[in-house]
Structure 1
Amino acid sequence: MTETVRPGTAAPFLSTLRLTDFRNYGRLVLGLGPGAVVLVGDNGAGKTNLLEAVSFLSPGRGFRRAANEAVARRGSSGAWAVAATLEGADGETAIGTGLVEGDLGRARRVRVDGQDATAETLSRLLSVLWLTPAMDGLFTGPPGDRRRFLDRLVLAVDAGHAARVAAYERAMTERNRLLEQGAEARWLDAVETQLAETGVAVAAARREVVGCLERLAAAADGADFPVAVLALAGEIDDDLAARPATAVEDGLRAALRAGRARDRAAGRTLDGPHRSDLLVSHREKAMPAALSSTGEQKALLIGLVLAHAELVAALTGRTPLLLLDEVAAHLDARRRGGLFARLSRLGAQVFMTGTDATLFELVGEPAQRFTVAAGTVVPA
């Protein structure tokens, strides 16, 4: 069932979603409209798989960080596809991604209006943000999880961020290899120059987005969800707060040169933004998120994701698409009502999943409700 696009609808949305041999879906064609898309079904029915498919319409490996071969339906050839019709300010755009049989073991393909494209092209057309149960341990988990989370936040407003992060990681891998091989200083000088340039660019982009979120949070009332206070912890981050980026680059390059013997012994590079951490605290209680209760951590995370969605809309002029997996399961009625009201104000197309349809009774219009069972999706 495809709803008619209403005049004046500003937020981009997927009007059609097609899956081929993706997870437990052999063939699925789903007509969609703007607003809320509620997916209800038993555990294991395929609700999260459907959201994961949509997450592949953005750069990266989807919200499960799965390998390309891992998402193909069991018993299939290994090829799979996710395709959609995107309705936006410029009209309809056909977007899609996947693997064909000859691509197994390679990067997935991206197509836009029938032409080969890059994942960065997708991010310029559509911002996809998500919140999943796997993120519930974000504040108590390792710093790497929070860095990846922050980089996704940056990518939603800066399509070039993924390329910067990838360039930095390639340079770091190359430096580690050269150190292990005992390469000449001139080779290390060259790769450390690249490492410093890309590393400071990555750190500066993170710092800018954290600053924007801080300013947005300062205006929030925190009535439904506690306000998260953010800070970056790392030598590069501290340096950027005190000096121009060019001076920070020089400092990082000097630190890398001075630390060669230490890093060779450690087997890894010990200076750079890959050592930074995102610190989150509860503003009202002045308490680190890691020390807050489980319920408060969930509420902090939801509030942070909602604030980021509002930031994306403000900075890019394009409301993001939201994927909220099991988001209402541990919220009381007041917070569920606050969540749905805030989503309605945002105006985004938002996919929500749950096992209990009554949790979504307060979802406003427009809304579509589907029942998911064993790889089938039908209107509820």
Structure 2
Amino acid sequence: MSGLFLVQLTLSHFRSHKRAALDLDGRPVAIYGPNGAGKTNLIEAVSMLSPGRGVRRAQSEDLIRKQEALGWKVTGHLRSLHQMHEIETWAEPGTSRQVRIDGKAAPQVALGRIGRMLWLVPSMDRLWIEGAEGRRRFLDRATMSFDPGHADEVLTYEKAMRERNRLLKDMVRDPHWYTALEIQMAEAGAAIHAGRVQAIAQLMEGQEDAETSFPIADLGIAQSDDGMIPETADELRQALADSRPRDLVAGRTLIGPHRSDLDAAFRAKGVPARDCSTGEQKALLISLILANARALARDFGAPPILLLDEVAAHLDAARRASLYDEICALGAQAFMTGTGAELFEELGARAQHVEVRDDDGRSVVEHLS
């Protein structure tokens, strides 16, 4: 069987899980149990097999099971298209996270080259009504799903910007100190903007392609302060140079892709996402995740692994059944959590079912089918 899915997952001393192991076959995975049992911890462990800090954006130290404080480890056997990879990621107390792929040390970005992963968690429910930072992060993860190298561009840009901001705070006025940093920011920033634009085009195409019960969102990029969006490296370099006096007053860089925002509107109603109802905002998010998955299925050759935490609880029965039908039609391995088995009845034998319960502060995982 080709595709992209985890065949085996093992956790050691990860949050509430002292040890857990799952044998998987590529079907969606329905995970249920009471609140606090460790369901989200299980999904978070899967997310650590992708680049970045996972679904909770936690520091490595925070993932360590407190009772033993021995360090944590997550191991996954990943079938990616026609190849099998063993992924190990871990951190000891006081050390940074390490990654090994097929027995060899690897940078985190390499995880994005052998697999793709998307997620939707409850903390994202306020995406459309909170600040622009969360929407930029959402867009950058979508962009990274198509082009793992996007992460390197973001890191390069942010590193150069931090150095420029240090000069600004120190009130350095000599232009020679800024030139090299601004060239570096301009080149990386133009690549970031181009990647985001391309990702939005692919998300829009992914929405248009499918008949779905989830709404279509019209997407675009705006400067968060309603200013200009320099698109080319030359435009951004000149804009940074021109903005130095203003930036010196502010003590930070006020123009560039770190100030961009993701615009979204409910197409059928012509209403900005921020003005939609809570249910409509959730439906728009699900629509974008599904569109991202469809586009990746074409681009990468297989749909991504989906992590959908507590997604079923926010949908009525009809939309819940539609979501499950779309996931199964896509052929994606989706890890989904909910408080009760009844939330996954519509999936039946199309999914594997896993119960998680708490045993005196330790999560116990039982494979039911």
Q: TM range, normalised to the smaller chain?
A: over 0.9
Q: SS where residue 353 of structure 1 aligns?
A: strand
Q: Which amino acid aligns with 2:190?
A: V
1:31 aligns to 2:23 (yes or no)? yes
Map 1:294-305 onto structure 2 (within 5 A): 294-305=278-289
| Residue 163, structure 1, aligned to residue 137, structure 2 | no
Encode CA deviations 1:197-251: one digit per residue, 9 max, x unaligned: 1111101100011012123323444x411111111112798554xxxxxxx2222
CA contact (8 A) 2:117 2:306 kept: yes
2:182 aligned partner, one-letter code: E
Q: Which amino acid aligns with 2:255?
A: D
Aligned mates of 1:238, 1:120 — CA distance in 2: 27
Q: Give the 3 Å change call, closer, same or farther, for CA 349–237 of structure 1 in structure 2.
A: farther
Q: Identify the residue that residue 338 of structure 2 maps to in structure 1.
A: 354
Residue 5 (structure 1) aligns with? none
Q: CA deviation at 1:187?
A: 2.0
1:320-363 alpha-carbon deviations (Å, 9 max, x no partner): 10011111102111101110110011101111110121111111
User: What is the aligned counterpart of 1:175 among 144, 160, 164?
Assistant: 164
Match of 1:315 among 299, 318, 321: 299
Q: By how many angstroms is 1:318 displaced?
A: 2.7
How far, CA to CA, are the matches of 1:219 and 1:313 in structure 2?
A: 12
Q: What CA deviation, in whole Å up to 9, does each residue of 1:135-171 have, x standing for no partner?
A: 1001111000000000000111101011100100001
Q: How far apart are 1:77 and its partner, in Å?
A: 2.8
Q: In structure 2, how many angstroms separate the alpha carbons of the residues matched to 1:85 and 1:126?
A: 11
Question: Aligned residue for 1:289?
Answer: 273
Whether the 8 Å contact between 2:230 and 2:236 is mirrored in structure 1 is no
Q: Hey, what's the Cα distance between the residues in 1 that align with 2:24 and 2:206?
A: 31
CA offset at residue 365 of structure 1? 4.1
CA distance in 2: counterparts of 1:188 and 1:238, whole angstroms: 20
The CA distance in 2 between the partners of 1:328 and 1:96, in whole Å, is: 30
The one-letter amino acid of 1:341's match is: D
8 Å CA contact 1:11–1:349 kept in 2: the answer is no
Preserved contact between residue 82 and residue 98 of structure 1 (Cα < 8 Å): yes
Q: Letter of the aligned partner of 1:205 in structure 2? A: G
TM-score (normalizing by structure 1): 0.92
The residue matched to 1:76 in structure 2 has which SS? coil
Asked if the contact 1:200/1:236 (under 8 Å) is kept, the reply is no
Distance 2:77 2:133 in 1: 34
In structure 2, what is the Cα distance between the partners aligned to 1:112 and 1:26? 23
Q: Work out the CA distance in 2 between the residues paired with 1:153 and 1:67.
A: 22
1:190 aligns with 2:180: yes
Corresponding position of 2:40: 48
For residues 116 and 154 of structure 1, the distance between their equivalents in structure 2, rounded to whole angstroms, comes to 25
What residue is the counterpart of 2:262 in the other structure?
A: 278
Of 64, 76, 79, 1:72 maps to 64
Is 1:86 paired with 2:78? yes
Give distance in 2, aligned partners of 1:237 and 1:128: 32
Q: Is the 8 A contact 1:18 1:28 kept in 2?
A: yes
Equivalent of residue 115 in structure 2, options 121, 126, 133: 126
Contact 1:46/1:373 (<8 A) preserved: yes
Partner amino acid for 1:194?
Q
Structure 1 residues 230 and 212, CA gap change in structure 2 (3 angstroms) = same
- The equivalent residue for 1:6 is none
Structure 2: segments with no counterpart, 5+ residues: none
Residue 116 of structure 1 aligns with an amino acid whose one-letter code is: A
Give the structure 1 partner of residue 364 of structure 2: 376
Write the letter of the residue equivalent to 1:224. Answer: S
Q: How far apart are residue 24 of structure 1 and its match?
A: 0.4
CA contact (8 A) 1:328 1:359 kept: yes
2: CA distance between counterparts of 1:358 and 1:135?
24
Number of residue pairs aligned between Structure 1 and Structure 2? 361
Query: How far does residue 364 in structure 1 lie from its aligned partner after superposition?
Result: 5.2
CA contact (8 A) 2:3 2:82 kept: no
Distance 2:210 2:218 in 1: 11
**How far off its partner does 1:257 sit?**
1.2
Percent sequence identity over matched residues?
A: 46
TM-score between the two structures when normalised by the length of structure 2:
0.94
Selected match of 2:317 from 315, 318, 333: 333
Q: 1:4 maps to what in 2?
A: none
Kindly indicate whether residue 22 of structure 2 is the aligned counterpart of residue 17 of structure 1. no
- Root-mean-square deviation (Å): 1.5
Is residue 213 from structure 1 mapped to residue 199 from structure 2 by the alignment? no
Rounded to whole Å, the distance in 2 between the matches of 1:88 and 1:304 is 23
* CA distance in 2 between partners of 1:346 and 1:360 (Å): 18
Equivalents in 2 of 1:318, 1:267: separation in Å?
45
Indicate if the aligned counterparts of 2:47 and 2:54 stay in contact, CA closer than 8 A: yes
**Secondary structure, counterpart of 2:12 in structure 1:** strand
Displacement of 1:88 in angstroms is 2.9
- Specify the SS of the correspondent of 1:203: helix
Q: Any idea what SS the aligned residue of 1:225 has?
A: coil
